[in-house]
Structure 1
Amino acid sequence: MLAVDRADFCPDNPYVDSSSPLGYPGVSINSPHTHARCLELLHGNLSKGSSALDVGSGSAYLTTCMALMVGRMGKAVGIDLVEDMVEDSITNIKKSHQDLLDSKRIKIVSGDGRIGYAPRAPYDAIHIGVSLEAVPQQNGVCFFSYWEQLKPGGRLIAFVGPSEGSQVLQQYDKQRDGTIKKTEVERLPVDG
């Protein structure tokens, strides 16, 4: 995180430890401590040469951090539904990290993140930055379309709960046999 200047990605109060609106309805950047916690949880899956997906990438701050963590041979993809936000995030990256775009270590796309981003799958790490009301169920088992895009040994983290209230940061680890192990990491107040 020290290698990525938050001011390039957050227009208002970039160094205050709170979420901040990004100029689009319902879109904000999470607080630095929330980003730090997410990177801490994904750290083992963001090693040199790994691949990462950031769903609801917003200003691309976290995606840029991920791209640096996976190194020259790694890849990070950010996907966001708001097309103008995607254009803004590319502009943000160009401010200090044009090399990540030139080398294709980072790719920012507009699209429905609920279905992931198959062209660069499978991923070692997936971060879902948008809050989920609930984790989808299939035959009584939690199910995401992301499971197919997550490598065995991969980790997905997501904020689950109502967008206006307390949420749970959940961690999902895909076992070598393809099964998913869920861990409730912590309860959090809504952070944007």
Structure 2
Amino acid sequence: MTARKEEVVPSGLASALVASGALQSDWLPTFKAVPRDMFVPDRIWPGMADGTRQNPVVDRAKDPDAWLRAVYSDIPLTTQWDDGSHSGDELGKTPSSSSSQPHMVFSMLADLEVKDGHRVLEIGTGTGWNSALLAHRLGTENVVSIEFDAEVAKGAGENQRSAGLSPLVIVGDGRLGYARRAPYDRVIATCSVGEVPQIWVDQTVGGGLIVAPWGTLYGGEAIVRLTVDGGTASGRFTRSSAFMRLRQQRPELHPHDAYLKGKEWPADGDRSTTTLLPTEVGGWVEQFAIGLQMPGAFWSVERYDDGTYTLWTYSTDTLSWASADYEPGADSFDVVQSGPRRLWDETEAAYLWWEVRGRPGFDRFGLTVDRDGGQAWLDSPDHPVPSVG
């Protein structure tokens, strides 16, 4: 591989990130000093930036040019499947570690607003690139990173030492933070959560910031930027995101068969019709808005060869389910609901709430975290998002 290729590919990514506004001038020297390729393993699965599909494995030993192009493309790179149990070339079942999309990495670092002397706690070390960027900017003594997977943590530490950086990497449960170095001026998570641990708030100084991907069980996710004030933290969502879930917060969802309980559809369900297109509830922000109002609910899709499909909605307690049959070009759609929760009725009510308020994007939503849990709101903490369940 020529030196020219190694120089041109990274500079092209830098230019694109600067042009997009993700890579700001104060982070540009760090981007150049801490190259992404030093933190990416030889075998990777490049992903589309929108998360819609995953590409086949790229092996550095077999195609070094393709590997370098992938590393310096603005895309996420899956580096581990199935918590490390997968080792083949084909895709595993669940991506469990990655190198995040550079645009997202530097957008979140911009949200973090670090300043000289700040102490930062990172949740989710991954390949080690994000905490290495922070260590270069702030000094290794000011950065602590927690990684649950010991092998992933080991690899990250090796990557960082090769780059001449050595932030403290702890193998442990990220929900617990790291009290021995607390308090922190900033906390950043590189994995998504459905609940911001109160410990993160407690280990952050007053006026400090917590930046984390936050999503609902139903779907939809965005970066939340919380300002800590005493035992509470509150702030708005800044942008859409799609991160792997914190392992201890991965939901355990029951299979379809647990709901019909051995009966054939429609089982004991009540039939009705709807004019709400099932396709309308599938957008990322739509899922987010619906999920905020429908705790304990999730969905799946069963597709058929003729272009029709069934949207299934389930309650986590296995007591309720709903099906909505989509047919292209139809004006109304058949619905069946069963159980104490009328899940399709809830879906319609949640969607209508979002539509009546002008179809708000992520940036109009916010979150407040205190010892009673978390409360999402629209436009202001004075306007909490209601539950329709």
Q: Would you say same fold, with TM above 0.5?
A: yes
Please show how residues 68-107 of structure 1 align to structure 2 within 5 Å.
68-71=136-139, 74-97=141-164, 100-101=165-166, 106-107=167-168
1:147 corresponding residue in structure 2: 201
TM-score normalised per structure 1: 0.82
* Larger relative strand fraction: 1
Q: 2:74 aligns with which of 14, 17, 21?
A: 17
How many angstroms apart in 2 are the aligned matches of 1:20 and 1:164? 25
Shift of 1:27: 1.1
User: Match of 2:136, SS?
Assistant: helix
Aligned length: 174
2:36 corresponding residue in structure 1: 6
Shift of 1:16: 1.3
How many angstroms apart in 2 are the aligned matches of 1:51 and 1:163? 32
Higher relative contact order (CA 8 A, sep 6+): 1
User: Match of 1:157, SS?
Assistant: strand
1:54 aligns with 2:54: no
How many angstroms apart in 2 are the aligned matches of 1:168 and 1:91? 31
**Percent of aligned pairs sharing the same letter:** 25
User: Match of 1:147, SS?
Assistant: helix
Residues 44-88 of structure 1 show CA distances to partners (whole Å, capped at 9, x for unaligned) of xx222110011011111110111122137x510111100001100
Q: 1:186 aligns with which of 239, 243, 249?
A: 239
For residue 78 of structure 2, what is the amino acid of its counterpart? P
Unaligned 5+ runs, structure 2? 1-30, 45-69, 83-95, 245-389
Unaligned 5+ runs, structure 1? 137-142
For residue 129 of structure 2, what is the amino acid of its counterpart? Y
TM-score normalised per structure 2: 0.42
Q: Is the 8 A contact 2:177 2:200 kept in 1?
A: yes
Cα RMSD of the aligned pairs, angstroms, is: 2.0
Shift of 1:42: 0.9
For residue 2 of structure 1, what is the amino acid of its counterpart? K
**Relative to 1, partners in 2 of residues 1:82 and 1:150: Cα closer, same or farther, differing over 3 Å?**
same
**Relative to 1, partners in 2 of residues 1:29 and 1:164: Cα closer, same or farther, differing over 3 Å?**
farther
For residue 35 of structure 1, what is the amino acid of its counterpart? V
For residue 21 of structure 1, what is the amino acid of its counterpart? T
1:41 aligns with 2:111: yes
For residue 123 of structure 1, what is the amino acid of its counterpart? Y
How many angstroms apart in 2 are the aligned matches of 1:93 and 1:52? 16
Q: Is the 8 A contact 1:152 1:174 kept in 2?
A: yes
How many angstroms apart in 2 are the aligned matches of 1:120 and 1:24? 31
How many angstroms apart in 1 are the aligned matches of 2:218 and 2:105? 19
How many angstroms apart in 2 are the aligned matches of 1:110 and 1:92? 16
For residue 234 of structure 2, what is the amino acid of its counterpart? K
User: Match of 2:190, SS?
Assistant: strand
1:126 aligns with 2:212: no
2:195 corresponding residue in structure 1: 135
